[in-house]
Chain A
Amino acid sequence: MPDYKWPAMNKRKIMGTRVSRLDGPAKSSGRAKYPSDMNPQGLLQTAILVSPHAHAKIRSINTDAAKSMPGVAGIRTFVNAGAEVQWANAEIAIVAANTEEQARDAVRAIKVDYEVLPHMVREENLAKAGTRAKAAGEQITGDPDQALKDADVVLQSEYGIPVITHCCLEPHGQVSEWKGDAINFWPSTQAVSTVGNQLAQALSFDAAKIKVTCDYMGGGFGSKFPADSWGAEGARLSKDTGGRPVKVFLDRATELTIAGVRPSHFMKVKVGAKKDGTITAWQSDSWSTGGFAGGGMAPIPYVYANIPNRRMNHAAVSLNAGPQRAWRAPNHPQASFLTTSAITDLAAKLNMDPLDVFLKNANLTLREATYKSQLEKAAKMIDWKAKYHAPGEGKGTIRRGVGIGVATWGGAGHASKCKIVLHPDGSVEVELGSQDIGTGTRTCITMVAAETLGLPMSAIRVKIGTNSYPASGPSGGSTTIGGVSSSTRKAAVNALEKLFEKVAPSLGVPADQLEAVDSRIQVKGNPNKAMSWKQAAQKMGPQSIEEMGENVPAQAPREGLNTLGASGVQMAEVEVDTETGRVRMRKLVAVQDCGLVVNPKTAESQVYGACIMSICSALFEERVMDAVTGRVLNPDMEFYKLAGLPDIGEIEVQMDITPEHDARGIIGLGEPCAIGGGAAIANAIHNALGVRVPLAPATPEKVLNAIGNRRYA
């Protein structure tokens, strides 16, 4: 079997160097065409009618008046009379018209008769949830009752983190064209190779005849895998109108209400410890919602999972609110916030520095040495020793504090196939049915192919973004980089083997004695016995070399190209104005391991971005539901707050690149770095104030309530 192993760390020429993303110029010049930018000839625009009620039965839908409005080409309904909608802004009908303005006018002419039914849209008080709360099974390890009784110190506390949205800047949607027996589908998607299959299923259509194309997409964060109801109805509208292309993109309010949210998570907890800080017991009662279907239990206790005695109970609360979708590191940021808040508050009760408690209990994690070393690195970066003080200690209006958050993630590569074509003219094409969701995938694939073939990146043409190419998995769960790098590596090695066979006779050595270095094929270690890549390619004859490479997740651990198990530690320093309640970021530091790092430049960008996302959720983000109307009160971007450039403070990222981590192969990065930051910020606020702000986000109102020792609604 060919040797697919990564070249030794010190032998790599391209992988591991800092490369600017290849599609950067297209993006920063505005020339990159996103699905929402597609304007094919004859395009119809659409508008969607949504339910104003959080829970209602539809008595009738009348589209007659709308049909005769100017410019209207087609109308379809998502639901029929008799159906119940279970959340506000659920999609009811869609109009296609020559212009967007006409489509919006026609939507207003659709008459829907609703029988309004009772709704419930808030879950922060479990006692009020009644039958909407469904208990999940109890999990017990050891003897938590006895351990809590025996503990020297027991912390008892409550924490909560609300539902937030993905708020992708490019809304969900697509352009579709159903002409004859084929469909062209241009979705904003994280899953070019699977979304067409889903659409085929929804339409009872031949999957082989759906061509999916997505060269660029404007953010997904876990919410853009499905074909979606508007994908199916958009395609049907195209069919209804004789194959005219139809563009459907959600407006902002609809995007923020029905296109995916991150579940909330609340927890009442008891943590027991010995005087020396050893954690011995954990007992949590938690609840969460991700919409009508309830919400699962976050992995608590988090990272510090192996507390010997523990009992966890959880309830899923069903609400009349838009459904959850995977949100970057599903349930982990909540788990980190809940767990590290409890450990930090426990440290306060023990009169210990929380850093010592995190270090002391590192044996409760899966990677003790890694977490210890990362805690120490991060502590140095934030200057913990100088900056930590007893909680609340300090004078004056403005208080500073530091806090800790931790993260873990899997991140093994997904199933991926890659085809590499070496042409007789020396050119190289690499094809994968993958996508670049902003992580730099296109660039990383090019780097792996160039490294393996001994060519400059400019000699490689990487083609992704359509299901016409060999299938790769969706970009979710930090699985892409491991998957596509491994399949590309294998395809490139396989192709080289074939090329070596053609070249070997001319160089007078067996094929396995050749290597590809610096755009040449040479006898291993002997640059004098060599020929240029171009000359070598000519030896192919008229036919190109086409080779496949495949990452099979079950085999990957044996091959060692990619693996799982990333760790990270983040620490924050904040400044809190005790008169206004405003929290300002001073610094956030991140130490992140993800095995072999293909492109440190784009990897760091992901971590910086994740830190900023953490600032957003720690300080600003909350989907606010109105109990009376059942509607989202802030489905926009002025009241659904995200951080801006002045809000982020200083951020320092250290990719934990070491020979030991590198030897593990590639591990996904997107999720793990988006977990610990929010927790670190919440804990830094505790350190600044000496009181806990138990509910995220730490808005001025919540901070002032905590300082005033006021309870929440």
Chain B
Amino acid sequence: MLYEAIHRQEGARSTKRIEGKVGVSVSSQNDSTKDNLTKSAFSRRSWLRGAGIGTGVVGAGVLEQEADAQQAKVMSGEVEISLNLNGRPRSVKVEPRTTLLDALRNRLDTTGAKRVCDRGTCGACTVIVGGKAVYGCTMLAVDAVGKNIQTIEGLAPEGQLHPVSQAFVNNDAQQCGYCTPGFVMASKALLDRNPNPTVEQVEKGMAGNICRCGTYVGVRKAVLEAAKMRGGSNA
């Protein structure tokens, strides 16, 4: 089985792929010595704990040893969880491996966040969880329980536009538009954190999002305009 445990760090793209069946991490840390495990402990250990996946599912190898050590409860099939989505509790059945993104798109018909790279690189699935921008594809749905999840649908009621969305329209910061919800959410999170960003801070803040049509010139202007609308002065 192929599991992907990927997380987004501020401004950095980091990816860890874990091949469950053979217990090999395809990232650079596929050494199973104790020391290395401790160093990379983010990660596999907390991920396993969070996912609640035990030996039966994961199989042999490093992961099994770690999982044994954790004595995690075996959980398989679908379970019902409640997600606090855009200010409303939403009940949804997910598997332990279901990402937040897939729970939103496939199970809650909340499709603003898009699945593009599906491994924490492109930002098309950016949502705001607990006030921070995260890649929806890098977070398991079960890990989002108890946290405030904001998607682009939650920015403004249908028929109205959030100022960031409006700035994207004004500056034509979109062509095919598939990356746009991710950019809008990343912009919103950036401006929440830093209401008055410089051009360089905008570029850095948007560096975790990729647009194939090449709308970055418009995005750069849009974020600065949105900051201005919200009272920032660098724009």
Contact = CB atoms under 8 A, between A and B. Distances in A.
A20 B214 contact: no
Give the size range of A's interface with the partner. Answer: 35 or more
B207 A169 contact: no
Most chain B CB inside 10 Å of its own CB: which residue of A216, A217, A645? A645
B34 to A, nearest CB: 28
Which 4 A-B pairs rank lowest in CB-CB distance, beginning with the nearest? Answer: A30-B112, A612-B214, A218-B178, A609-B214
B54 interface: no
B158 A439 contact: no
Interface string B61-75: 000000000000000
A439 B111 CA distance: 22
A11 interface: no
Contact of A28 (B109, B118, B184, B211): B184
A381 interface: no
Nearest to A648: B216
A527 to B, nearest CB: 33
Contacts of A610: 214
A23 B169 CA distance: 9
Nearest to B151: A30
A637 B135 CA distance: 14
A23 to B, nearest CB: 7
A20 B161 contact: no
Interface stretch (A32-40, A86-94, A298-306): A32-40
Nearest to A39: B109
Interface of B: 1-2, 13, 15, 95, 97-98, 102, 105-106, 109, 111-119, 121-122, 124, 151-153, 155-156, 158, 161-162, 165-166, 168-170, 172-181, 184, 202-204, 206-220
6 contacts: A28-B168, A39-B105, A99-B95, A216-B177, A218-B178, A613-B214
A439 to B, nearest CB: 7
Interface stretch (A394-402, A565-573, A600-608): A600-608
B58 to A, nearest CB: 14
Given A169-B176, A637-B122, 13 more contacts: A23-B177, A29-B112, A29-B165, A36-B114, A45-B106, A167-B212, A168-B212, A169-B212, A604-B172, A605-B172, A609-B213, A637-B117, A648-B217
A612 B212 CA distance: 9
A21 B216 contact: no
A32 B170 contact: no
A51 B32 CA distance: 30
Nearest to B120: A638
Contacts of A168: 212
A474 B142 CA distance: 43
B169 A108 contact: no
A609 B215 contact: yes
A31 B158 contact: yes
Contact of A29 (B97, B162, B215): B162
A100 B106 contact: yes
B106 A438 contact: no
B220 A645 contact: yes
Nearest to B177: A27
Contact of A25 (B95, B113, B169, B218): B169
Interface of A: 20-21, 23-34, 36-37, 39, 45, 99-101, 104-105, 108, 167-171, 216-219, 221, 251-252, 437-440, 601-602, 604-606, 608-613, 616, 636-638, 642-646, 648, 651
Contact of A39 (B95, B111, B121, B208): B111
Nearest to B206: A645
A644 B174 contact: no
Contact of A252 (B1, B97, B102, B119): B119
A169 B109 contact: no
A701 B158 CA distance: 49
Given A169-B124, A642-B212, A605 B165 contact: no
B175 A25 contact: no
A327 to B, nearest CB: 12
B180 A27 contact: yes
Given A218-B176, A609-B214, A648-B217, A31 B169 contact: no
A710 B202 CA distance: 39
Contacts of B155: 29-30
Contacts of A252: 116-119
A429 to B, nearest CB: 22
A218 B170 CA distance: 20
A24 B174 contact: yes
A401 B108 CA distance: 52
Contacts of B153: 29-31
A104 B95 CA distance: 13
A101 B152 CA distance: 25
A642 B210 contact: yes
Contacts of A651: 217
Contacts of B166: 25, 28
A372 to B, nearest CB: 28
A672 to B, nearest CB: 15
A99 B169 contact: no
Contact of B179 (A25, A26, A169, A606): A169
Nearest to A45: B106
Most chain A CB inside 10 Å of its own CB: which residue of B174, B184, B214? B214
Nearest to B109: A39
Contacts of A602: 172
A20 B124 CA distance: 23
Contact of B214 (A24, A45, A99, A611): A611
A29 B172 contact: no
